[in-house]
Amino acid sequence: MKIGMVVEGSYPYVSGGVASWVQMIIQKMPEHQFEIIAITPEEVTDKEYRYELPPNVTGVTTLPLTMKQRPHSRKEALTANDQQAVTDWMMFKKADTEALHVLGQKLGSTDVFFSSTLFWELVQQSYEEEQQSGSFIEYFYMWQGMFKPVIELLQFDFPEVDLIHSASTGYAGLISSFIKREQKVPFLLTEHGIYSREREEEILQAGWIADYYKNRWIQFFHHLSRQAYAEADDVITLFERNSELQADIGADQEKLRIIPNGIQYDRLSLVEKDRSQRSHLVIGAIVRVVPIKDIKTMIQSAKLLLDKGVPFEMYIMGPLDEDEEYAAECTEMIEQLGLSSAVFLTGKVNIIEYLPKFDLCLLTSISEGQPLAVLEGMAAGLPWITTDVGSCAELIYGREDDPYGPAGFVVPPVNPEQVAQYCEWFYDHPHEAVKFGRNGQRRAEQFYQVHQFIEEYRELYLERREAYGGHRV
């Protein structure tokens, strides 16, 4: 079976998180071929791959959101029904693949469409319905900016597949909805974090979007989510809280399914703790150095530990080149706070070499799905301090049917004081720390092994493809 895997801002150009999940699925299913459709913020090349592609990857189609539209001959006179479908879709009144078909297969270029009477009337109608009072010209260009990538993505010639699997809603879910309709194949959707909620948080904080336009951008991303939920045969996520959010946004309850992440438990559980006598606390963080991981809160907590007189070392392990400006800010912060001899940005490393050194692990993200880093640390028998985002509380404290006890502590986001407080607690209570680590290790062994989630997807792929009539060939 050839599976189209659609990813946005991730595999194979970004390491960790969703990208690691994609690589694991491909590697563990050598019986299937995988065609990668990667949406990127800007132009990239295969020299920027962060993964060695497994032999069952048949191709990578990269679609930068900044790409110039390829010349094409598609242009048909739109019927009244076509125009109504486009109007309803762009006004967020209806999530309908008929509109996607028109935008992808019948519409002319974006330049032609944005100069058309239909587009002008659409913008005018929306401006009046929203009771906007700002510049109409600005509003007009905002509409162009919103729908240009939508149209240009849909007009791409996609590879033929037997099944389409999207790792998010957003533009990836949009493309997958379109491919399902055009190629008549099943569509699986897996959300690690709730995409439209994450975009909403970003938009509300964004300084480059005028306040009076923010609501429309938020509605746009929720609209893309509803489109993906409507078309997907299965709407999958990693934990219960996310599943409830999907239902709130508009996913059909009957489609909802939970498939947790999995890790290589056997390999990680063999990590032997360095039992040499130490008089200081060793803290590890397996994390990308990017703003959403809030490394600065981690560094601030280290400063508080220093001020408390707690002897420690903190190793922040993850790539430094995904947001070089932010990584530079973190480096400067470490120096300014006098932490250069205690806090180390290691860059990307082999975590197996570092895990034996640690007394605990730390995650201070402001948004997460179900972080693989936490599961990896748990499998190695390490206790955690995490923020209360995504499924972290469920991982640390367990689900209702979980008998194992806490694997650490959960704190509110952006709270260096509580992080430092619990780090100090671990320093003062080393025996309890070991117990917490064992609790987490048992939980990972019982619920979060890679073979468990791979088998669920393997069965689901076959089940859905059979329901749609078998393979392409």
Give me the tens of pLDDT residue by residue for the chain, a chain 473 residues long: 999 999 999 999 998 889 999 999 999 999 999 999 999 999 999 999 999 999 999 999 999 998 776 655 556 789 999 999 999 999 999 998 999 999 999 988 899 899 999 999 999 999 999 888 889 999 999 999 999 999 999 999 999 999 999 999 999 999 999 999 999 999 999 999 899 999 998 999 888 888 889 999 999 999 999 999 999 999 999 999 999 999 999 999 999 999 999 999 999 999 887 766 678 999 999 999 999 999 999 999 999 999 999 999 999 999 999 899 999 999 999 999 999 999 999 998 998 999 999 999 999 999 888 998 999 999 999 999 999 998 999 999 998 888 999 999 999 999 999 999 999 999 999 999 999 999 999 999 999 999 999 999 999 999 999 988 765 54
Q: Structure pTM? A: 0.86
Domains of the chain: 2-70+156-261+452-467 (3.40.50.2000), 265-448 (3.40.50.2000)
- Angle (nearest 5°) at CA 353 between 192 and 345: 70
24 token code pair: 């694991």
**Residue 286: closest CA among 393, 342, 360:** 360
| Contact between residue 53 and residue 25 where contact means Cβ atoms under 8 Å apart | no
* pLDDT at residue 276 in the model: 65
151 backbone φψ class: left, alpha, beta (φ>0; ψ -120 to 50): alpha
Amino acid sitting at position 86 = V
Classify residue 276 by burial, with Cβ atoms within 10 Å: 0-12, 13-18, 19+. exposed
CA distance 125 to 137: 14
CA distance 390 to 201: 14
Classify residue 428 by burial, with Cβ atoms within 10 Å: 0-12, 13-18, 19+. exposed
CA distance 246 to 235: 8
* pLDDT at residue 75 in the model: 65
453 token code pair: 């989630």
Rg (CA), the chain: 24
CA distance 105 to 154: 8
**Residue 196: closest CA among 160, 224, 155, 231:** 224
| Contact between residue 290 and residue 319 where contact means Cβ atoms under 8 Å apart | no
User: Which residue(s) pair with 6 in the sheet?
Assistant: 37, 166
| Contact between residue 72 and residue 155 where contact means Cβ atoms under 8 Å apart | yes
Q: What is the 3-state secondary structure (H, E, C) of the chain?
A: CEEEEEEECCCCCCCCCHHHHHHHHHHHCCCCEEEEEEEECCCCCHHHCCCCCCCCEEEEEEEECCCCCCCCCCCCCCCHHHHHHHHHHHCCCCCCHHHHHHHHHHCCCHHHHHCCHHHHHHHHHHHHHCCCCCCHHHHHHHHHHHHHHHHHHHCCCCCCCCEEEECCCHHHHHHHHHHHHHHCCCEEEEECCCHHHHHHHHHHHCCCCCHHHHHHHHHHHHHHHHHHHHHCCEEEECCHHHHHHHHHHCCCHHHEEECCCCECHHHHHCCCCCCCCCCCEEEEEECCCCHHHCHHHHHHHHHHHHHHCCCEEEEEECCCCCCHHHHHHHHHHHHHCCCCCCEEEEECCCHHHHHHHCCEEEECCCCCCCCHHHHHHHHCCCCEEEECCCCHHHHHHCCCCCCCCCCEEEECCCCHHHHHHHHHHHHHCHHHHHHHHHHHHHHHHHHCEHHHHHHHHHHHHHHHHHHCCCCCC
CA distance 168 to 37: 12
Q: How many CB atoms lie within 10 A of CB 272?
A: 9
CA distance 346 to 319: 8
CA distance 99 to 84: 9
Edge-to-edge strands, sheet with 163-166: 57-64, 33-40, 2-8, 163-166, 187-191, 234-237, 256-258
* pLDDT at residue 72 in the model: 58
